[in-house]
Amino acid sequence: MKRHLISAADLTRDDALLVLDTAEEMARVADRPIKKLPTLRGRTVVNLFFEDSTRTRISFEAAAKRLSADVINFSAKGSSVSKGESLKDTALTLEAMGADAVVIRHHASGAPHRLATSGWIGGSVVNAGDGTHEHPTQALLDAFTMRRHLAGAPDGGPTFHRGPGDGTGRDLEGRRITIVGDVLHSRVARSNVALLGTLGAHVTLVAPPTLLPIGVESWPCEVSYDLDAVLAKSDAVMMLRVQSERMNAAFFPTEREYARRYGLDGARMAALPEHAIVMHPGPMNRGMEITAEVADSGRCTVVEQVANGVSVRMAVLYLLLGGNEPAVATATPRTEETKQA
């Protein structure tokens, strides 16, 4: 495993499978009465968040605490950043306090890369979302969720799980994933296109032309402007939130027009194959990109994705900081020799 996790594109197929398989082990810990491992005892993880976050920040905090790490939560609001402190000075402060890992979310694309390569800190850097660039742990938890539902039989056959199952050792070869919505401003879409392609999936982006980035034709995916045309052959549909806070122009006529053309409602969900799942990275705008009927249906995996996010982030922190020993220790059966000893 590499020292930092900055981009999903940095992960090879073996890297990605290592994280996903380790996350399967971590998920079993969540079923225990005591959901803790001593793996990172004595290590310090800093959550450095310059943007608002609920799921990601709490997920990383829960992951670190379940691995027995010490957690420091840093929010730009109410800190010296609001007084004009630079990212460099903040990083040097964290280094002086002995941070072993820094989980950073920043409004500027490239900030995690700068932190990882500048020499300001000696610990590992995990990108928790930088501007409109990337969000690699979100892509990993999405792939983890898809693999549990869609991974084929061990012999490579087309058998699908009717519910979440153990996807250990499997990739997403041949699965068709459709990502719909505001691709232009979506770091989740960029990370998912890179990671899902690495895992062998076929990705199709669906959006109005105004919400597709320049150069998207060079991405390892297909592009469509017609949602209805791709639903019938999709194994998973991921709806993206329209990020109004990042928009400084009119990218579509009205919200009603957008929902009519690119929103997922009950009728469109019925057009999906029986095994297909509906995903959303959150937070959802109900009535915009997804209706309440779909969001609350049994085929929607939003809440499951949040639970899987803790397991995946536990795996990432363990692999970056923990090292070489098994993530989940197994008890050694007692033999006559050990009893006598």
Locate the DSSP E strands across the chain: 44-49, 70-75, 101-106, 124-130, 176-180, 202-206, 222-224, 236-239, 277-279
3-state secondary structure of 324: coil
Query: Domains of the chain (ranges plus CATH)?
Result: 8-134+305-321 (3.40.50.1370), 136-302 (3.40.50.1370)
Q: Closest Cα to residue 3, out of 150, 113, 161? A: 113
* Residue 243 among known ligand-binding residues: no
Known binder of ligand: residue 3? no
Q: Tell whether 334 is in a known binding site.
A: no
At 258-272, the pLDDT tens digits run: 889 999 999 999 999
What is the average pLDDT score of the chain?
88
Token readout for 207 is 């959006």
Q: Which residues have a Cβ under 8 Å from the Cβ of 127 and sit 6 or more positions away?
A: 5, 6, 7, 104, 112, 113, 134, 135, 136, 137
Question: Bridge partners of 237?
Answer: 178, 278
Does 241 carry a binding-site annotation? yes
How far, CA to CA in Å, does 163 sit from each of 12, 15, 147, 156, 168?
28, 26, 11, 18, 15
Distance in angstroms (rounded) separating the CA atoms of residues 122 and 270: 51
Asked if 190 and 133 count as a contact pair (C-beta separation under 8 A), the reply is: yes
pLDDT digits (tens, 9 = 90+) for 80-125: 776 678 899 999 999 999 999 999 999 999 999 999 999 999 999 9
Query: Which candidate, 38, 75, 112, places its Cα nearest to that of 321?
Result: 38
Q: pTM above 0.85?
A: yes
* Cβ atoms 43, 321 nearer than 8 A: yes
Residue 62 burial (10 A CB sphere; 0-12, 13-18, 19+): middle
Asked if residue 282 belongs to a known ligand binding site, the reply is yes
Query: Would you give per-residue pLDDT tens digits along the chain (341 residues)?
Result: 689 999 999 999 999 999 999 999 999 998 888 889 999 999 999 999 998 888 899 999 999 999 999 999 988 776 677 667 889 999 999 999 999 999 999 999 999 999 999 999 999 999 999 999 999 999 999 999 999 999 754 444 444 444 567 778 899 999 999 999 999 989 999 999 999 999 999 999 999 999 999 999 999 999 999 999 999 999 999 999 887 665 566 677 688 888 899 999 999 999 999 999 999 998 888 988 999 999 999 999 999 999 999 999 999 999 999 765 555 554 444 445 444 54
Q: Is 83 annotated as a binding residue?
A: yes
Contact 323, 20 (CB under 8 A): no
Q: Which of 276, 334, 266, 316 is nearest to 20 (CA)?
A: 316
